Amino acid sequence: MKRKIITALICILILALSVLIAAGMLYSPVQVVIDPGHGGSDVGAQYNGRYEKDDNLEIALLVCENLRDMGIEACLTRDDDKFVELKDRCALANRRNAELFVSLHRNSAEGANGVEIWVSSDSPEADTALAENILTALDAVGISENRGVKSGYAMGEGNYYVNSQTDMPSCLVELGFINSETDNALLDKNMQAYAEAIAKAIEETL
Ligand SMILES: [Zn+2]
């Protein structure tokens, strides 16, 4: 009888500890959330068999690694090729009280080149500062064209979901056009340098 009670108590203790550890992982604060756009069945823009989701993930992993090397607590909304809802990406950043949120994407349009960064349509000062720091840093590495910091949404009224639904300063980086050979060559050559530049710009903004 006594043995059964002890066993039950140990089980309860283990369960309670597991819940605490899981909650800690879910809710522990983080400084920066890096969001590789798209993933899984949502490939994003594509060009000649090249998928935006893969470029986004590759650079995001490097940005995160650079941030951690700098001693900055960073996490990703996805670290492999899986589909994650936009609302879950934002919820993660909000739940973990992130100080900054940076979404990484690639653009697509006929005959266009260069890098642009999107912020919320009311252009909050902190968001614009974050975007400008990142764009300046990328420009210093070398991009085909600096298309500037833009506010709102490229496809009409409103804002990018991740910019409107995150509680902290955020921006959405369009790292060149996936249908531009020039931009793809630059990204492939400068992947690590771009990642370092973005990480340093984030550090500067923090
Ligand atoms: Zn995208």
**Would you state the pLDDT for residue 23?**
67
171: three-class secondary structure by DSSP: strand
Give SS3 for 130: helix
CA 27–ligand 1 middle distance (angstroms): 27
Per-residue pLDDT averaged across 59-63, rounded?
98
Mean of pLDDT values over 20-24: 67
Residue 79: pLDDT over 90:
yes
24 has pLDDT over 70? no
Q: Could you tell me the distance, in angstroms and rounded to a whole number, from the CA of residue 44 to the centre of ligand 1? A: 5
pLDDT of residue 3: 81
Q: For residue 160, which phi and psi values (nearest 5 degrees)?
A: -65, 140
Dist CA 44 CA 38 (whole Å): 6
CA 76, 139, 185, 70: dihedral to nearest 10 degrees? -40
Q: Same domain for 107 and 137?
A: yes
**Under 8 Å between Cβ of 203 and 70:** yes
Q: Which range marks the domain in which residue 55 is found?
A: 31-205
Of 26, 61, 55, 23, the residue nearest 38 (C-alpha): 55
Q: How far is the CA of 52 from the centre of ligand 1 (A)?
A: 7
94: phi > 0 → left, psi -120 to 50 → alpha, else beta; which? alpha
Based on the fold, state whether residues 71 and 118 are members of the same structural domain.
yes
Residue 150's nearest CA partner among 116, 106, 109 is: 116
Mean pLDDT of the chain: 94
Same domain as 111, residue 22: no
Q: How far is the CA of 106 from the centre of ligand 1 (A)?
A: 5
How close is the Cα of 47 to the center of ligand 1, in Å?
A: 13
Q: What's the Cα-to-Cα distance from 168 to each of 5, 36, 96, 99, 139, rounded to whole Å?
A: 48, 17, 11, 6, 25
In the numeric block, the tokens 């056009």 are attached to 177
5 and 56 assigned to the same domain: no
Residue 182 confidence (pLDDT) above 90: yes
Say yes or no: 135 and 161 in one domain. Answer: yes
Clarify whether residues 173 and 80 are in a common domain. Answer: yes
State the distance from the centre of ligand 1 to the C-alpha of 51, rounded, in angstroms: 10
Task: Tell how far the Cα of 22 is from the centroid of ligand 1, in angstroms.
Answer: 31
pLDDT digits (tens, 9 = 90+) for 90-129: 999 999 999 999 999 999 999 999 999 999 998 899 999 9
- Specify the CATH number for the domain of residue 149: 3.40.630.40
